[in-house]
Structure 1
Amino acid sequence: MTLSLFFSSISCFLLLLFSLHLFFAKRGNRLLNRLLALLFLSRFGQILITLFIHSDHQTLFPFVYQLFTPLWYITPACFYLYVISFIQRNQQPLKFQWLHFMPAIFAVIHIFPWHLSNPVNWNLIAIQIAENKQLFITERTGLFSPVFYYLGRPVLVIVYLSVTWYAVLKSKILDKKTEPVRRDWLLLFLRIGTFFYLAGFLSLAFWNIDKPYINTLFMIINGMIVLIIMVFVLHHPRLFYGYLFVSVNLNPGQKHGDTEAPAQINQAKKMSLLPEQLLKYSISMKEVMEIKQPYLLENFQIVDLAGELNIPVHHCSFVLNNLIGKNFRDWINEYRIRSFMEQYPLKSERMTIESVAHECGFKSTATFYNAFKKETGLMPTAYFSQKKVS
């Protein structure tokens, strides 16, 4: 049991860390950040309750349990809304989507401290949770009958899990044509979420079996999987900095998404590069951009370019700053603007300026207009009007 509590404690801390960071992140897609934060926070609550039950602080268990109850009724909807918003690139929830949070309102009514004639048997509830039956508690936990919990939550999980996968398959976002980073992240998110939701039903297989080691094994596996997921994401920086630590700047004074090393590091590394190496790196970098066109991927960063060429990131940054004369952001936007100038005249009759810009790798409209004016000195409409006249 000590080992299982150890893994659970670490995973609990990591989940709280990520949920707080995402909830208060000021950059990235705030809707996606906060939906993901709620999912992490819900999982944190489940593990925290298990820790309280197996510790000397069981008196806190009822309070923590009731505190997280409303969250458990909206996380299936959060899972669905995250995927839908990710696919559609929504920045804010649509009006009708707020209806998905109705179960949480009923959950708040359920846990409100009404003056009930029959007190809640928290000891029995703790025993049922200890038996790994969090989805199927048969004791009354509030105003409504136990059916509200042991039938309501499983139904929500199954329904939202089904409609989420249906929406993903219907959208075709998993096709090879989708940006690799977006596809990889969505697949990772779907697999992890589906696994943990379905794992909640495993207790049915052992419902009538009284084997304590099974519960301990579940806790160890649960904690280890969370740790493995965290290690995996840490070793895939495009996922880590793109969707989890969305507001992290890798270097002081550096713009978000621009992972270049600071000038001090570049100068310190300057003498380790021969002129032949610099020229070779410069040619290779331009070949990658012109042949493979990675600038069409909105989340493409200098770390990805360095990985493609199998050279250090600070070498890429040094070549850009000293040979090409641009930072990574301006350099990649130059390629995107060139692509836009080629594509827009061909697609202007059926697509808007913003749509073509998005296809050319720009994540936001503001970034595109700023980059276009920086490259041409004009806004797109004025530029193409001038072209027609000439």
Structure 2
Amino acid sequence: MHLFFAKRGNRLLNILLSVIFFARFGQILTSLLFKAGQPHALAIFHQTFTPFYYAAPACFYLYITGFLRDRKHLQYIEWLHFVPVLLAVIHVIPWHISPPDWNVVGTQLAQNGYFSLKAKTGLFPPYFHYVFRPLLVTGYLCATWIVVLRLNKKPQQLLDSEGRTWIIFFLRIATFFQLLGLIPFILRSLHIPYVNTCFIVLNCLVLLLVLLYTLHKPYIFYGYLLVAVDWTKKPANRQTGTDSILVPLETENPIRNLATAKKTNLIDAQLVDYALAMKEIMEREQLYLHHDFQIIDLAAKLNLPVHHCSFVINKQIGKNFRDWINGYRISHFLEQYPLKSDRFTIEAIASEAGFKSHATFYNAFRKETGLMPTAYFAMGISH
């Protein structure tokens, strides 16, 4: 409910994720009902949650792809993913047919689980549950993995480290539980005996590990599950160096903000002298080639206060420190690429130029040239 009504984050992704959890909640609730022998309540809640069961695989796929592409709205053609939901709604509508025997339904659910429900529960034949739904889950799971694996071939869509950690974590956990739910169905189909208690214990242990992991990763728990904190606007002092990964362009280094708060008392001549000194030492010593080079290191080399360095770079050079140093790195990359492209990959040469991450390099390259590297060199543009 919190995800569905959350005002922070991506509204579309919050809704899709909330539907996934709501469907899981429905499974737990109906499990309690048929374990407790409550056929009347089971009839109501099972039919209520059935459309959510058929929506969850599509929501899972759309959530992952939407997260990777930062989508805020579904395309018209993507609404076709919810055709199974429409079929499920039609299935549960009472069409004056013979009502299902919910005592039998409850017994089968208790014994065999959702994927082996062979009792009639609505308009469509029983295989609507025990054939169509496993195929739906498996198909969307495979499609989601294909999308994620293809991401390696599209560097421009690389996520920041926190986003990548969350999406891989979520995908792996969902895959584990979906496959664990399919294993009893497969074993029964092959007439192989199994102990249901083992699967329950394994579920509980994995859930405990998941909970412990998320509690130790606050940006997952509060940034994606509860959406209580806007983690996209974190201060730059949380980063490990001058390079950041897909940090929004409007996010500024707190040192720059400090520069505006402090009086620099620098005259124009000093601004020019300091700017020339900065450029000279940067080019002479090629300080930009160091992955972890920060503005505090530059200030130490010039024996200047950090806020003076930041003020000079912003006022005289006209860039923030990150963009300024990345400009040197892009220039170095463009000089080295024609000489090394036959022996090294683009990413390797970018790393030699001082970029700590691939995503930072691609963002900086596109900002400096207006193109991605492949398109840039394909056009035969010379540096």
TM tier, smaller: 0.5 to 0.7
The aligned runs of 1:149-164 (5 Å cut-off) are 149-164=129-144
Verify the 8 A CA contact 2:43 2:102 in the aligned structure 1. Answer: yes
Measure, in 1, the Cα distance between the counterparts of 2:13 and 2:129: 27
Q: Distance in 2 between matches of 1:143 and 1:239?
A: 41
CA distances 1:266-319 after superposition (whole Å, capped 9, x unpaired): xxxxxxxxxxxxxxxx9xx599443xx2364459999xxxxxxxxxxxxxxxxx
Is it true that 1:130 corresponds to 2:110 in the alignment? Answer: yes
Give 3-state SS (helix, strand or coil) of 1:199's partner.
helix
Say whether the 8 Å CA contact 2:39–2:103 is kept in structure 1.
no
Instruction: State the number of aligned residues.
Output: 279
Q: 1:180 and 1:75 mapped to 2: Cα distance?
A: 26
Q: How does 1:29-108 map onto structure 2 within 5 Å?
A: 29-55=10-36, 57-108=38-89
- The whole-number CA distance in structure 1 between the counterparts of 2:114 and 2:238 is 55
Q: 1:297 to 1:115 in 2, by over 3 A?
A: same
CA distance in 1, matches of 2:88, 2:238: 57
What whole-Å deviation, never above 9, does each CA across 1:169-195 have from its counterpart, x for those lacking one?
A: 112289896422121111111101111
> Post-superposition shift, 1:61?
1.2
Q: Aligned partners of 1:191 and 1:145: how far apart in 2?
A: 33
1:244 alignment partner, one of 212, 222, 225: 225
User: Residue type matched to 2:4 in 1?
Assistant: F
Letter in 2 for 1:241: Y
TM-score (norm 1): 0.61
Match of 1:382 in 2: none
337-346 or 228-237: which moved more? 337-346
CA distance in 2, matches of 1:258, 1:199: 37
Seen in structure 2, the aligned counterparts of structure 1 residues 123 and 190 have a Cα distance that, compared at 3 Å, is same
Mapping 1:1-390, distance limit 5 Å: 20-55=1-36, 57-116=38-97, 118-172=98-152, 178-207=159-188, 214-246=195-227, 248-249=228-229, 288-290=240-242, 293-294=243-244, 296-298=246-248, 359=363
Q: Check the 8 A contact 1:77/1:101 in 2, yes or no.
A: yes
> 1:229-253 deviations in whole A, cap 9, x for unaligned?
122112101222221122x25xxxx
Kindly state the Cα deviation for residue 206 of structure 1 after the two structures are TM-superposed.
Answer: 4.6
Q: Aligned partners of 2:239 and 2:192: how far apart in 1?
A: 63
Give yes or no for contact 1:257–1:301 (8 Å, CA) kept in 2. Answer: no
Name stretches of at least 5 consecutive residues in structure 2 with no aligned partner.
254-305, 311-318, 333-358, 365-383
CA contact (8 A) 2:34 2:106 kept: yes
The answer on whether the counterparts of 2:95 and 2:123 sit within 8 Å (CA) in structure 1 is: yes
| Contact 1:174 1:183 (8 Å CA) reproduced | no
Distance 1:72 1:223 in 2: 21
Residues 244 and 173 of structure 1: is their aligned pair in 2 closer, same or farther, counting only changes over 3 Å?
farther
- Separation in structure 1 between the aligned mates of residue 232 and residue 70 of structure 2, nearest angstrom: 18
Distance in 2 (CA, whole Å) between partners of 1:301 and 1:65 is 51
Alignment TM-score, normalising by the size of structure 2: 0.62
Give the 3-state SS of the residue equivalent to 1:201 in structure 2. Answer: helix
CA distance in 2, matches of 1:115, 1:128: 24
Do the aligned partners of 1:138 and 1:150 also contact (CA within 8 Å) in 2? Answer: yes
Deviates more, 1:46-55 or 1:105-114: 46-55
* Aligned AA (1:121): D
Report deviation, 1:123.
1.2
Shift of 1:150: 1.0
Quick one: distance in 2 between partners of 1:35 and 1:73?
13
Alpha-carbon separation, structure 1, partners of 2:76 and 2:91: 25
Q: Which amino acid aligns with 1:167?
A: V
* Structure-1 separation of matches of 2:173 and 2:108: 25
Shift of 1:224: 3.5
Letter in 1 for 2:184: S
Q: Cα gap change, 1:287/1:217 in structure 2, threshold over 3 Å: closer, same or farther? A: closer
Cα deviation 1:190-231 (Å, max 9, x = unaligned):
1011112111211135525777xx333333332332232122
Answer whether contact 2:90 2:123 (CA < 8 A) is retained: yes
Asked if the contact 2:30–2:45 (Cα under 8 Å) also holds between the matched residues in 1, the reply is yes
The residue type equivalent to 2:26 in the other structure is: G
Aligned-pair distance for 1:126?
A: 1.0
Give the unaligned 5+ runs of structure 1. 1-19, 250-254, 261-281, 303-322, 327-332, 347-354, 361-390
